[in-house]
Amino acid sequence: MLRLLQVFEDDILKISRYIRMSREDAVQSIVTDFIALVKQSDDVPPSCGADSDKT
In-domain check, residue 48: no
In-domain check, residue 27: yes
Helix runs in 1-55, H state only? 2-7, 9-16, 23-43
What's the confidence (pLDDT) of residue 1?
84
In-domain check, residue 20: yes
Q: What is the pLDDT of residues 11-41, one digit of tens each?
A: 999 999 999 999 999 999 999 999 999 899 8
Q: What's the CA gap between 24 and 37, in Å, rounded?
A: 20
What's the confidence (pLDDT) of residue 48?
59
In-domain check, residue 11: yes
In-domain check, residue 54: no
In-domain check, residue 10: yes
In-domain check, residue 44: no
Domain enclosing residue 9, as ranges? 2-39
Q: Tell me how many domains the chain contains.
A: 1
